[in-house]
Each structure stands twice: as C-alpha cells, then as structure tokens.
Amino acid sequence: MAMLDNPTKFEGDFSSLWSLDVMPTIHGLSWWWYWVLILIPDPNNPKRSRQLMTLWSTKETKAIRVSGHWWKPGSRMYKDDHGGFVIPGMVCAWWYDGEKMHEPLTMRERRMAVVSDEHPLWPGDGGGLGAGAIVPIDREDLSMGMNPGNESMWLSLSSDKDARSRGAPSKFDAHLTPWWGPPSELTYKNNEIALGMGYDILRLQGMKARLVVDGEAFEGTAYFQKVTVQA
C-alpha cells in the first residue's frame, strides 16, 4: 500500500511518448499535440482554482486558423536517422489567475525538436523508456519533458509581451511528480477506424504539481496527454 500511496515513478509503457509516427501521416488530416493542464487551489478563494494550460501542437496542413490566428507551417515534419523529429508548430497557453483569464498567455509559431533519451542531443544515456522532451526553438525556455527514470516531468513557459502588458506573469516553471496509484499510471488508447484514420492517446490523469509563477511557488495537481488524431 505504501508504494501505491507514495510512488517514485510514473508507471506504464512510455516508449512511444516522443514518437510522432505511431500512425501513418495523412496529409490534411494528421494532428499531433502534447497538452498539460495544471490546477492550483486559489488561496484567495478555495472554491476555485488557478489554471495553466499549455499546448505544443502541429498539423499536416497548408494552413489552419488557431484562435483567430492563421498558422501556415511552410514545411513538413522531418524525422532524422536517430529517431528525433523536427516539426513546424505552435506553442499556445492560457493562465487563469482566479479572477482574470489571460488568453492567449503565449501564442508562438516555432520549429520544435522532439527527442527521446536515445537521441545524441539528449544530455546523457538512455534506454528509450520515457525520458525525452519537446523543445521549441526560442530565446526563452518553452520546453516540456520527462526526466530520466520517469520520476518526474517538467514544464517551462514564458508569456508573450502583449500578455505581460495586460498584467500576466512573465515566467512559469512546473515540476510534476506521481501522485498515487492509478491516476499516475499511464493509460493508452489506440483505435484505427479505416483507411489509417483514428487516434492514439497517452494520458496521465493525476500528478502532483509544484508551479513557480514569477518566483512564487504553489502546490496543486496536473493532467497530461499526448495525442495523435487522424480525422
């Protein structure tokens, strides 16, 4: 029971966490995204939560409208000889501070690297069991990843200049760790309907979160998913 109450790692098969070719790409129909939602009890009103949502996403398309913004990739996903991916994509986030919704908090078009710990760019040796990261190419750290041993995840985010001018915080850093039992065990769903269409989803439904917002630390919970959709 103690192991369930205080797990030291996320359980489950994370070997496909940083693979974007689990399902064959279909032009105009394939989507990929990583998504993290962090909930922090509002100290000023315990009945509600402060919320940070962050999305790293790409789509096999010529153009798509995202929250009023036309995104045109201009290139396609590339896989190198070491199993790493370079993708055109967007990093989008919103922050609800308990009173005001800051949306978009971040909306940036960026090329991103997606690598596991088996890739030469990873700082250390690994066995492809889950450690890795998605790293947008930006002056500021907008990365998210899994640490070695699947013991924890991290998230780093900086808000856009326009959001800061409207009163949003500038820097967010999160450390996500296992909570207890089933919520911190990976769930996997894969369904191919017909002609390559379907979905592939990895989820962690409950994690403990330590979120630092402009130097101030908060404790809460988090939810994670990695999704491929062919539709």
Average pLDDT of the residues of the chain:
94
Residues spanned by the domain of 179: 14-230
Residue 44 lies in a domain: yes
Share of the chain above pLDDT 70, in %: 98
CATH classification at residue 117? 2.40.370
Residue 7 lies in a domain: no
Residue 213 lies in a domain: yes
Residue 5 lies in a domain: no
- Six-digit token string for 121: 């760019």
- The tens digit of pLDDT for each residue in 146-169 reads 999 999 999 999 999 999 999 999
**Is 104 or 231 the better-scoring residue by pLDDT?**
104
- The tens digit of pLDDT for each residue in 156-214 reads 999 999 999 999 999 999 999 999 888 999 999 999 888 889 999 999 999 999 999 99
Residue 59 lies in a domain: yes
What is the value of pTM for the model shown?
Answer: 0.94
Residue 9 lies in a domain: no
Residue 1 lies in a domain: no
Residue 4 lies in a domain: no
The number of folded domains in the chain is 1
What was the pLDDT predicted at 2?
44
